[in-house]
Amino acid sequence: MTERLFEEKQHASLYQKYRFDPPDELKDLIIQYLDKKKGKPHQLAVDLGCGTGQNSRSLTKYFEQVVGIDVSESQVAEARAVSGFPNLSYRVGTAEELPFPDGSVDLLTAASAAHWFDAERFIKEAIRVLKPRGCLALFGYGDSMDIHFESCGDRLNNIYEDVKQILLPYTSSKVNVANSKLKDLFEAIPFPDKERIEIIPVKLQLSIKAVIGYFETFSMYQAYLRADPSAATALLERTTSRESPAEELPFEDGSVDLVTAMSAFHWFDHSRFLQEAHRVLKPHGCLAVLNYTMDMELSYRDCSENLNHICNEFYAALRPFRNPYLGSSSFELYKKTYDSLQYPVKEWQDIFWVKKTVALSGYVGMVESFSAFQALLKKDPEEARRLSQDIEQRLLRAMGATSSETEVIMGVKYFYFLACKPEND
């Protein structure tokens, strides 16, 4: 029996939006195969499990007539809503019982769909409707997707693996048929002349929003959504915010009230981020970009001056390890950015002291979390550890204390700018 996992309207509209068109390499390969094996005329192509019609539409320029067939009414309704293809029609129906006379079809395709079919009945039906020397093209992409983005491809792929693991209990066994690249189905096709290609590498450039939208189209995600709507929604939100570059925000135009970046803007592609923040902010929405300087100050009884002298040595030792992308001063970068910001309503604050009581070890840990310290740690772990232990010991001696849990007052100098997106822009 056909598994009905694609029935819902909302799932069909995600399909229309986020499923990929078949790549040109694949289309060319199929048409060339048909030309070689059967030759012209190309009268009728039938696209089985057509979903929202991406593959069906792509066949229209090669055939007099294309028919898309899908068991899901919602998918077919979405497919029909795309106009502009006069030689394309759709029918609700199954791949195992086709509404065509014997020997009438030149090409039968199934894009990411054949794994759902009842293999035996489908093959029988394909043999019946195909013309002599007519062709069958079954293809898909299984789960073999590799995500690349600058140097963080591995991290992104791990996130994709995490999503797959969470969805595993909701994954139909039919998906394994797709992941096996339809091996058994291929073997079961009784045509003497057949070919199986296991990999056609295709690269697509997608936004994070499109990647998440694609995950959302998975039948297992939809099954998870039915079983536990709030957990499924949270999974997508979590996955989006785990890895979404600030320059490519997964939000609609004019949909965000406040965009903040704390100790982060200096790492961004500054102008692309500002453009993106502008895009997503509502009119009168605000931008708050904040940072603090590395040279935090310590106060402890009457020895604060001494302590800050030692702290400054700590900062000076780390300065050569500052990432060159950050330039010599993030303060200047923020100020320059503020000055060039075109919003008429904006304000700049160049010192905003925040004082808090922390254990001395907390202060040292804070400096250790800075990227400059982390760079030194990577380059020379022993030297990094020696430096922070030495500084901590000297601070303790200057304080006349013995425990690194002794509390000090740490003063942090924040600076920031706030800006409000104009109404008419």
Ligand X SMILES: C[S@@+](CC[C@H](N)C(=O)[O-])C[C@H]1O[C@@H](n2cnc3c(N)ncnc32)[C@H](O)[C@@H]1O
Residues that bind ligand X (CB under 6 A): 2, 6, 19, 48-51, 54-55, 69-72, 75, 94-96, 111-113, 116-117
Cβ-proximal residues to 289 (8 Å cutoff; 6+ apart), any chain: 260, 261, 265, 334, 337, 416, 417
Output the smallest distance, CB 142 to ligand X, in A: 11
Q: Nearer to ligand X by C-beta: 110 or 287?
A: 110
Considering beta carbons, is residue 98 or 249 the nearer one to ligand X?
A: 98
Closest to ligand X by CB, 11 or 270: 11
- Toward ligand X, which CB reaches closer, 99 or 381? 99
List strands edge to edge, sheet with 44-48: 88-92, 65-70, 44-48, 105-111, 130-139
Closest CA to 135 of 68, 193, 200: 193
**Minimum distance from residue 295 beta carbon to ligand X (Å):** 56
Q: Rounded to the nearest whole angstrom, what is the least distance from the CB of residue 215 to ligand X in the complex?
A: 13
| Residues forming beta bridges with residue 109, ordered by sequence position | 47, 137
Helix (H) or strand (E) holding 236: helix 229-242
d(CA 271, CA 384): 34
Closer CB to ligand X, 188 or 234, in the complex = 188
**Shortest distance, position 12 Cβ to ligand X, whole Å:** 8
Q: Alpha-carbon dihedral of residues 338, 342, 343, 344, nearest 10 degrees?
A: 100
Kindly report the backbone phi and psi dihedral angles of residue 123, in degrees, each rounded to the nearest multiple of 5, phi listed first: -65, -40
Which of residues 70 and 276 has its CB atom nearest to ligand X in the complex? 70
Q: Which residue is nearest to ligand X (CB)?
A: 51
Nearer to ligand X (CB atom), residue 135 or residue 399: 135
CB nearer to ligand X: pick between 114 and 290 = 114
- Shortest approach of ligand X to residue 50 CB, angstroms? 5
- Distances in whole angstroms, Cα of residue 313 to Cα of each of 364, 370, 378, 400, 409: 13, 15, 20, 19, 19
CB of 41 to ligand X, least distance (A): 25
Q: How far is the CB of 32 from ligand X (least distance, A)?
A: 20
CA quadruple 312, 315, 320, 322: dihedral sign: negative
**Which residue type sits at 277?**
A
**Cβ proximity to ligand X, 26 vs 208, nearer residue:** 26
The DSSP call for residue 192 is S
Task: Scan for tokens 């909701």, then name that residue.
Answer: 170
Least distance between ligand X and beta carbon 93 (Å)? 7
Residue whose CB is less far from ligand X, 125 or 297: 125
Closest separation between CB of residue 199 and ligand X, Å?
18
Q: How far is CA 366 from CA 94, 374, 401, in A?
A: 62, 11, 20
Phi, psi for 159 (deg, rounded to 5) = -65, -40
Q: How far apart are CA 115 and CA 181, in angstroms?
A: 9
Six-digit token string for 283? 């009119």
Which amino acid, residue 32?
Answer: Q
Query: In whole angstroms, how close is the CB of 176 to ligand X at the nearest point?
Result: 14
CB 390 within 8 A of CB 336: no
